[in-house]
Amino acid sequence: MFAPYLVRADDVRLPPNLTLESKAGFAVGLLGLVDYRAPSPLVYRELVWMPGRVRAKREDGRVARGYFVGKMLVDDRRSLAAGQELWGLPKQLARFDVGAREARVECEDGRARA
d(CA 34, CA 45): 6
Residue ranges per structural domain of the chain = 2-113
Q: CATH number for 2-113: choose from 2.40.400.10, 3.30.70.1450, 1.10.287.70, 3.40.50.150.
A: 2.40.400.10
Q: Per residue in 83-101, pLDDT tens?
A: 999 999 999 999 998 888 8
Q: Per residue in 28-84, pLDDT tens?
A: 999 999 999 999 999 999 999 999 999 999 999 999 999 999 999 999 999 999 999
Distance of CA 111 to the CA centre of its chain: 18
- The helix (run of H) or strand (run of E) holding residue 77 is helix 77-85
Type of residue numbered 42: L
Average pLDDT over residues 9-37: 96
Say if residue 1's pLDDT is above 90.
no
**Residue 82's pLDDT is what?**
93
Give the chain's length.
Answer: 114
- Using 50, 70 and 90 to split pLDDT, how confident is the model at 110? low
- Using 50, 70 and 90 to split pLDDT, how confident is the model at 112? low
d(CA 32, CA 35): 10
pTM value is 0.85
CB 73 within 8 A of CB 94: yes
